[in-house]
Structure 1
Amino acid sequence: MTTQAGSAAVEETADGHTIVPGPRGVPLLGNLPEFGKDPLAFFERLRERGDVVSWRFGRGPALFIAHPDTIGELLTQVESTFDQPDLGIAFRTLLGNGVVVAKGADWRRKRSLVQPSVRPKQVRSYAATMAECAIALADRWTDGQHIDIKKEMAALTQLIAVRTIFGVDTAADAEAIGRAMDVAQREIGAEFSGIGALLPDWVPTPGRARIKRATAVIDAEVARVVARHRDGETERPDLLSRLLAARDETGAHLSDQEIRDETVTLYIGGHETTSSTLVWAWHLLSRNPRVRDALGEELDRVLGDHEPGFDDYARLTYTQAVVKETLRLYPTIWLLTGVAREGATLGGMPVEPGTRVWSSQWATHRDGRWFGDPEEFRPERWGTVEGEAGDDIPEYAWFPFGGGPRVCLGTRFAMVEAVLILAVLARRFRLDLGPGEIRPVPSLTLQPDREVLATVRTRRT
């Protein structure tokens, strides 16, 4: 297999995928400057070259894969022939060695301890909190009010995260936590796509100093709330209490550091990712009145005069499709990567050990082979409208939560949260965004590049 970016060689995998060379890089840095300038556009350009493209991340060999078949191979083979990569000191500073970062036996142990906290039965118990928080926000909105959707959704999902994870109404300093998370996200994105990705951990940089300060704020709050839980009631319905009570097969609890790492991981999954998804959903609905009207029709028909709850989730099929279509066009997690072990293959061809294999939800989700009119916001493609067939979407053509053994543990939590919040708010209001383009910025999650200002308009009383 040729992995030298810029080589003239073209090879073919056993299942017919062609391995083509990517753009020529520069000495030592490879294609990192082009990748760092605009990662989303870079991956789209690689996708246009082929389904398996060789390039260089710094001096190391790398492959970009765009076809659902090879993406499925990568995702299902992680923990067998592909390793979870080291995502850098900035990423580890924030997430520690939580279940997203851990490898091998350590990952399997942590997954077994965390997973029971987000099973369907537990998500049902959190749904009431999700709806209650959304209803309280809806009660504060008024017709003609001007809002920043980004701030409103961030505050809402942060409150839900604090209540469901910590079991309290507010953190000691919720605004400080939010600011710290914003700093951490920016610095992780900047380091990951810049020269910092190639620097040893011991090299000090201003960005690394900023993320350490931000993480210290987060750590202090987590430690305070953990201490409160341990000194208080033993039976609580929140995620943190379940983590504190969890035992592995040897009877051992999670350590204080492990509790911290998993709590921060759950906080990001329950707050940052859902907040971003909702911002993009409101943006798309404002720009697509037909879809907004169809969403309102379903909410009127299914909910009538009652507020949504967990039992309504399964019946809100178009609302689910709106969320899925939002995640297709603006996937919160926009790339996944793995490192080949000895014996790794893709498409029947061996992959050189140490090769870093990349896939991008952004690029594959916008591929016209799998999604007709890929730039169009069309929830009907998910087969939710009676009499209209959905698109024939291959497995792993849509993978906003990853897949395989390391699929996001909070997938159902995130979907239920986004659907219930959208149902509560869109049942009463529409949000009209102002003019101007909003661009996605790839940091830890895919974020809007600016404030998202809108006018609240009442749909019904």
Structure 2
Amino acid sequence: MYIVRGKPIVGGLREYRTDSLSYFLNSALEAGPDADMLRFRIGFTTFYMPIAPHLIREILVSRANLFDKSKIDLRVLQPSLGNGLLTSNGNYHRRQRRLIQPAFHPDRLGAYAAVMKDFAADHIQDWRDGQEKNIAHEMMRLTMFIVARALFHADVRSVAEEIGTAIQDLQEAADIDLQRGFPLPHWLPTPNNRRRKRSRSILRNRLTPIIEQHRQGEQSDAHDLLSMLLSARDDDGSRLTPGEVYDQTVTLFAAGHETTSNALTWCWYLLSQYPHVEAQLHAELERRRMSTESTTTGGLSRIVSDADFARLPFTQQIVKETLRLYPPAWMLMGRELNTDARVGDYQFKRGTVFFISPYVMHRLPQFFENPTEFNPDRFTPENESGINRFAYIPFGAGPHVCIGNYFAQLEATLLLASIARHFRLELHPDQAVRPRARITLSNEGGMRMILRAR
């Protein structure tokens, strides 16, 4: 075990607040390829970070029953998101996951792909050559539209700005609590608590009518997620309470679009920096267009099934490599031992907290050659088979793996293909690139880019 040195009393608090990405990654690099675990102390909090795949497998999969989501994270996230899938533990989490899982069954992907394609085409109708766009904002709006339609059978285009701002404000409130190290009591009228209360009120006002319309059967298609939540019965015949339905709606609405929008933003940035990769992408899209134009006037309009999705292998590789370099979930929710236990070669007491960072794991040279290079060929079938399953974890693993991971990969791949068919995106010369690690990994201030028509 490598002990990360810090200053008396505060430990690594200053480094964590200044640049948490560099702090955690540099600590792992300094520990060297033989290290399996890091110990950090930030303020009065001590926690551990496994950087060996076998330990990550142990915590997330083989002995996952010994761990709960950490109280540190729950105290920060539950005031914003309630007790949904992301913030629940144990039997309650398993019950929720069982009820939600059918909405993400592979049989639903064809219907979701059609929604993604249609919204992408509509979204870029007004884009013109030479325009400047904040692509982070554009991808946020587009993925929000898609999640609302695909999972909730709702059209939120008229209120997208309001909902998006409310979700971002909830994240900012949680970020402030994380940076502080502990949340202040939520009944205190601090600026942060007032912002959180205001944002939750906005979301409740906008999302509750969607739920009620489904409850009354006005907008249900019987197969969307919200309809399934409202009609699902547990083994004992009980249904989700209105509060449970609302918490799941907020959680999946927020997590379902924000992570994918960040991933797509980083995709566009990386393509702008690696023109040879961009050229390979365009070549694949041209081959796909030529193979379909005899049966459809839309080319990519036939990419609406698993089979068609598989015909974009290089586009998928770009998405996977982007998720390696810039995983939106840069730090998984902490895991806290619920009993005294041995993890690897070390004995720990109940209450010990472990944080697993995909960002750190994905940039360690013992797992990825030239780890800072953007190289989608890492994910050709032959190369991907050699990647340790627990060294590449953009969606986590085990019973808490991201329930929408296939939805997210499908969405990112199809949106990237649909937009890249019509436009190249150049990084604005004045745009600084400063990854911002908070709840998710975004770029500070968005991502200004210039559209170039193809």
Please tell me whether residue 228 in structure 1 is matched to residue 210 in structure 2: no
**Pick from 419, 424, 428: which aligns with 1:430?**
424
- Distance in 1 (CA, whole Å) between partners of 2:359 and 2:85 is 24
Residue in structure 2 matched with residue 22 of structure 1 by the alignment: 4
Q: What aligned pairs does 1:230-249 form with structure 2 within 5 A after superposition?
A: 230-233=215-218, 235-249=221-235
Q: What aligned pairs does 1:130-141 form with structure 2 within 5 A after superposition?
A: 130-141=116-127
Q: What aligned pairs does 1:68-87 form with structure 2 within 5 A after superposition?
A: 68-77=53-62, 79-86=64-71, 87=73
Residue in structure 1 matched with residue 312 of structure 2 by the alignment: 316
Q: What aligned pairs does 1:340-379 form with structure 2 within 5 A after superposition?
A: 340-379=337-376
Q: What aligned pairs does 1:108-187 form with structure 2 within 5 A after superposition?
A: 108-170=94-156, 173-187=159-173
Q: CA distance change for structure 1 residues 192 and 78 in 2, over 3 Å: closer, same or farther?
A: farther
Q: CA distance change for structure 1 residues 235 and 424 in 2, over 3 Å: closer, same or farther?
A: closer
Please tell me whether residue 36 in structure 1 is matched to residue 22 in structure 2: no
CA drift of 1:246 comes to 1.3
Q: CA distance change for structure 1 residues 58 and 127 in 2, over 3 Å: closer, same or farther?
A: same
1:370–1:392: 8 Å Cα contact kept in structure 2? no
- TM superposition score normalised by structure 1: 0.89
Deviation sequence 1:243-293 (CA, Å, 0-9, x none): 111111111111111111111111123210111110000000001001000
Q: CA distance change for structure 1 residues 126 and 290 in 2, over 3 Å: closer, same or farther?
A: same
Counterpart residue identity of residue 44, structure 1: L
CA drift of 1:232 comes to 3.1
1:83–1:340: 8 Å Cα contact kept in structure 2? yes
**Pick from 419, 437, 443: which aligns with 1:448?**
443
- Distance in 2 (CA, whole Å) between partners of 1:26 and 1:206 is 31
Deviation sequence 1:301-357 (CA, Å, 0-9, x none): 123341132331112111111001001110000112211232433223222221111
2:186–2:193: 8 Å Cα contact kept in structure 1? no
Report sequence identity in percent.
37
2:76–2:183: 8 Å Cα contact kept in structure 1? no
- Distance in 2 (CA, whole Å) between partners of 1:60 and 1:204 is 26
Deviation sequence 1:137-160 (CA, Å, 0-9, x none): 233222222222112111111111
- Distance in 2 (CA, whole Å) between partners of 1:154 and 1:79 is 33
2:271–2:277: 8 Å Cα contact kept in structure 1? yes
Q: What aligned pairs does 1:388-407 form with structure 2 within 5 A after superposition?
A: 389=383, 392-407=386-401
Please tell me whether residue 439 in structure 1 is matched to residue 434 in structure 2: yes
Counterpart residue identity of residue 347, structure 2: P
Residue in structure 2 matched with residue 46 of structure 1 by the alignment: 27
Deviation sequence 1:213-259 (CA, Å, 0-9, x none): 11111122121111111223464332211211111111111111111
Residue in structure 2 matched with residue 414 of structure 1 by the alignment: 408
Q: CA distance change for structure 1 residues 184 and 77 in 2, over 3 Å: closer, same or farther?
A: farther
Q: CA distance change for structure 1 residues 128 and 78 in 2, over 3 Å: closer, same or farther?
A: farther
Q: Which moved more, 1:202-211 or 1:44-53?
A: 202-211
CA RMSD of aligned residues (A): 2.0
Deviation sequence 1:333-387 (CA, Å, 0-9, x none): 0112211232433223222221111111111111111111111100001125xxx
Residue in structure 2 matched with residue 93 of structure 1 by the alignment: 79
1:81–1:341: 8 Å Cα contact kept in structure 2? yes
2:147–2:257: 8 Å Cα contact kept in structure 1? yes
Deviation sequence 1:4-43 (CA, Å, 0-9, x none): xxxxxxxxxxxxxxx121122442x543343222211121
- Distance in 1 (CA, whole Å) between partners of 2:106 and 2:280 is 28
CA drift of 1:204 comes to 5.1
Counterpart residue identity of residue 35, structure 1: Y
Deviation sequence 1:86-123 (CA, Å, 0-9, x none): 21444112211111111111111111111111111123
Residue in structure 2 matched with residue 212 of structure 1 by the alignment: 197
CA drift of 1:191 comes to 1.5
2:5–2:11: 8 Å Cα contact kept in structure 1? no
Counterpart residue identity of residue 339, structure 1: E
CA drift of 1:174 comes to 2.1
2:70–2:336: 8 Å Cα contact kept in structure 1? yes
Unmatched tracts of structure 1, length 5 or more? 1-18
CA drift of 1:77 comes to 4.9
Q: Which moved more, 1:295-304 or 1:315-324?
A: 295-304
Deviation sequence 1:409-441 (CA, Å, 0-9, x none): 000110001001011011121111122431111
- Distance in 1 (CA, whole Å) between partners of 2:408 and 2:60 is 20
- Distance in 1 (CA, whole Å) between partners of 2:179 and 2:119 is 36
1:269–1:414: 8 Å Cα contact kept in structure 2? no
Counterpart residue identity of residue 21, structure 2: L
**Secondary structure of 2:233 counterpart:** coil
- Distance in 1 (CA, whole Å) between partners of 2:176 and 2:314 is 36
- Distance in 1 (CA, whole Å) between partners of 2:147 and 2:27 is 37
2:110–2:304: 8 Å Cα contact kept in structure 1? no
Q: How many residues align?
A: 436
Q: CA distance change for structure 1 residues 171 and 237 in 2, over 3 Å: closer, same or farther?
A: farther
CA drift of 1:172 comes to 6.0
1:79–1:103: 8 Å Cα contact kept in structure 2? no
2:75–2:183: 8 Å Cα contact kept in structure 1? no
CA drift of 1:47 comes to 0.7
Q: CA distance change for structure 1 residues 167 and 441 in 2, over 3 Å: closer, same or farther?
A: same
**Secondary structure of 2:26 counterpart:** helix
